Amino acid sequence: MSDRPAPLADPHLLFDPAAGRRDIVILGSTGSIGTQAIDLALRNPDRFRVTALSAAGGRVALLAEQARLLRVEKVAVAREDVVPALKEALSAQFGPGETLPEILAGPDAATELAASACHTVLNGITGSIGLAPTLAALRAGRTLALANKESLIVGGPLVKALAKPGQIIPVDSEHAALFQALAAGTRADVRKLVVTASGGPFRGRTRAELAKVTVEDALAHPTWAMGPVITVNSATLVNKGLEVIEAHLLYDIPFEQIEVVVHPQSYVHSMVEFTDGSTLAQATPPDMRGPIAIGLGWPQRVPDAAPAFDWTKASTWEFFPLDTEAFPAVGIARHVGGLGGTAPAVFNAANEECVEAFLAGRLPFTAIMDTVSAVVDEHGTPQSGTSLTVQDVLEAEAWARARAREMAARAAAEARA
């Protein structure tokens, strides 16, 4: 593997090992990743200074409160219609005579922030809308702490063309784990990446048993508290499929050397098997502040970023093979990852539409992956990865969303018949 190009994420190659306090821009500040990153920054003011925040616009009161706590210079919202409410909320948070943050608004606001002056951009946006900010941050030469896996998955060739070696630090718990374990050896030493999965709320169920599960069942994740879309992706194991593609792109490891194993306790976040037979596992109690701290602080570690294990208490850690019949998502993801081009974008967009239909009660649980698979098959040969453009990705996503809605509506009608 030594003659292959440097991977996007490499613990041995830090894009910018700047010492001292780092200026951080947080995209998706009112979401789960964003709020935990802000907690980390507030507890470590000597390490991090947050200069700007972006959010979709659905929680302007929280965004205004964050802006005051951090004394940021700029805030951005994707929804222009919430600007009056945001101005009012900021005025209520800041004292008389205090300078309010500059407000950016519109669909390109987060992208503009991603290119602003800072050391690190944390992309915590959910969905493929995070692609443009990812590209903007890389183009501007920022270190990218990447929690928005979709931008890498749907725009892999575009990201790889822009990113310098070591410029991306992964924030997903699984990829932060692989990142740390890979520090123990070289790529030539790696035999296999092992991505762990909690198994979601339906671990151990057969496909037949999954046919009748409800939205409430799917949202009852046994380990993590996440948004509804990510939680359903965990229930279908689409999230693991996306993470397999992400691991391939981040670390330049072939798909046949990336394995998924079910680990219900979610203590081991992923593992690297080396050629001498050694396996290194990264383990912490489930808490995203640890991976966020890696993304913002590497190669330095942030003391007490997250809780550690209490080794005076007994615990049992289990590992099980993946049931590919009940959970075909990982196999489909491997297929589209191998195709490359626009195929991953089609997979991701079709899944987002089907999850929305499931959450609205219009589509049975097992029909999510059946529909996604049908859309992927119909898409056929993707746009060549070597000539991929942002417009290609957008057009493929639009087609996939429309086709998934049509197929989901038909599947729903057949289920009612």
174 known member of a binding site: yes
Provide the residue type at 164 as one letter.
K
Residues with Cβ within 8 Å of 93's Cβ and at least 6 positions away in sequence, in order, are: 64, 65, 67, 68
212 known member of a binding site: no
148 known member of a binding site: yes
Q: Could you say which DSSP state residue 163 is in?
A: P
Q: Where are the beta strands (DSSP E) in 219-263?
A: 258-262
Secondary structure (DSSP) of 59-121: -HHHHHHHHHHHT-SEEEES-GGGHHHHHHHHHHHSPTTPPPPEEEESTTHHHHHHTSS-SEE
**259: which strand partners?**
194
* CA angle (278 as vertex; 272, 283 as ends), nearest 5: 50
44 known member of a binding site: no
> In this structure, how many other beta carbons lie within 10 angstroms of the beta carbon of residue 170?
28
151 known member of a binding site: no
33 known member of a binding site: yes
172 known member of a binding site: yes
Q: In terms of DSSP bridges, do strands 74-77 and 102-105 run parallel, antiparallel, or are they unpaired?
A: parallel
234 known member of a binding site: yes
32 known member of a binding site: yes
240 known member of a binding site: yes
150 known member of a binding site: yes
**Peptide bond before residue 299 is cis, with ω within 30 degrees of 0:** yes
Handedness of CA 151, 156, 162, 168 (dihedral sign): positive
173 known member of a binding site: yes
| Rounded-to-integer distance, Cα 266 and Cα 169, Å | 21
Token look-up 């602003």 returns 116
297 known member of a binding site: no
3-state secondary structure 282-308: EECCCCCHHHHHHHHHCCCCCCCCCCC
Residues with Cβ within 8 Å of 352's Cβ and at least 6 positions away in sequence, in order, are: 127, 128, 229, 401
Q: Which of 41, 27, 34, 99 is nearest to 69 (CA)?
A: 41
227 known member of a binding site: yes
Calculate the CA 273 to chain-centre distance.
23
Report the binding-site residues for 1-deoxy-D-xylulose 5-phosphate.
149, 173-174, 198, 221, 234, 239-240, 243
Report the binding-site residues for Mn(2+).
172, 174, 243
Report the binding-site residues.
30-33, 56, 148-150, 172-174, 198, 221, 227, 234, 239-240, 243
Report the binding-site residues for NADPH.
30-33, 56, 148, 150, 227
